[in-house]
Structure 1
Amino acid sequence: MHFNTPCFGTVEYEQKDIIRFQDGLLGFENMIDYLLIHISPIEDSFMYLQSLQDENLSFILANPFTLYPGYSPSLSKEDLIQLDLQDDTPVIFYSICVLKKNIAHSTCNLKAPLVIRTDTRKGFQVVLQDPQYGFHHPFPDLSLDERGELRC
């Protein structure tokens, strides 16, 4: 299948690539089907989440564990039920970022991460109860190591 976007051009995908957020995302409850688009083939710290319902809607995502090594989200019992998670269920976490022209003013939403089951491609945006995480958490200092990978 093909999907045309103004930012990424024509994106090819298969049905198995679609991530479904049955409840949508906060503020975008009617947008449920998305594709993950990798920014770099060798670095997975940042990606785009492209809506399949609106070609003009995409989000910049970050791997919160790469940017914030101490990040330790704790899912509530309701979150676990919503995603039908067991101890061995494969999941990935992403945080939605707001990038500014000056990277020092950019933020990452650690309070409401996206949790995606990699086996079913079912996603859910959770709101963590932990007060140490904010909706506009400042970016850490970013740099690349000798292999060109992100180092915080």
Structure 2
Amino acid sequence: MIFNTKRFGQIEIENNQMIVFESPILGFGNLKKYILLQSEDKKSPFEFLQSAENEDLSFIVADPFVFFPEYEFHLEPHWIETLAVTDESDIMVMVIVTVRSADDISCNLKAPVVINKSNNIAAQIVLDHRGYSTQELLLREKKGAEIDADSVKK
């Protein structure tokens, strides 16, 4: 299949690459089909979740465990059934990243995107966990914060 996208131009994917959301991304309930695209920089921790139904819509996503190794939650039996999970290793967790500026980048730890890699069924799940925020900062210190401008010797 060939799709037109605003950000990536024309892309071609196989049927087995289509991710279908059983529980759609919040605010985008009418859009259920997406494609996960890697950044051109293969070392980047960020990927793109491109809508297959709206060429203008793509989300920046990332593996939350890269930035927050202590991040954890329990997948309720309802979601295991909805996603048709048979093996825990088939689960991929991504979070939506928001970039407001170079120093203001956050991710939504409160509502991760959970994908079953074996069948490409996905859901955005709102966690009942008070410690997680929808705007968890990725950069906890501003660049250059460790430099004291007054410490320059004359």
Counterparts of 1:69 and 1:85, CA distance in 2: 23
Counterparts of 2:74 and 2:16, CA distance in 1: 28
Runs of 5+ consecutive residues of structure 2 not aligned to the other structure: 142-154
Counterparts of 1:74 and 1:44, CA distance in 2: 27
Q: Which residue of the partner structure matches residue 108 of structure 2?
A: 109
Counterparts of 1:115 and 1:44, CA distance in 2: 20
Determine whether 1:38 maps to 2:38. Answer: yes
Residue identity (%): 33
Counterparts of 1:87 and 1:48, CA distance in 2: 25
Counterparts of 1:88 and 1:44, CA distance in 2: 25
Q: Secondary structure at the match of 1:16?
A: helix
Distance 1:140 1:68, change over 3 A: farther
- 1:44 Cα deviation (Å)? 5.4
TM-score w.r.t. the length of structure 2 is: 0.84
Q: Secondary structure at the match of 2:100?
A: coil
Matches within 5 A, 1:1-152: 1-40=1-40, 42-43=42-43, 45-88=45-88, 90-102=90-102, 104-140=103-139
Asked whether the 8 Å contact 2:94–2:112 carries over to 1, the reply is yes
Counterparts of 1:130 and 1:80, CA distance in 2: 18
Runs of 5+ consecutive residues of structure 1 not aligned to the other structure: 143-152
Asked whether the 8 Å contact 1:68–1:140 carries over to 2, the reply is no
TM-score w.r.t. the length of structure 1 is: 0.85
- 1:56 Cα deviation (Å)? 0.3
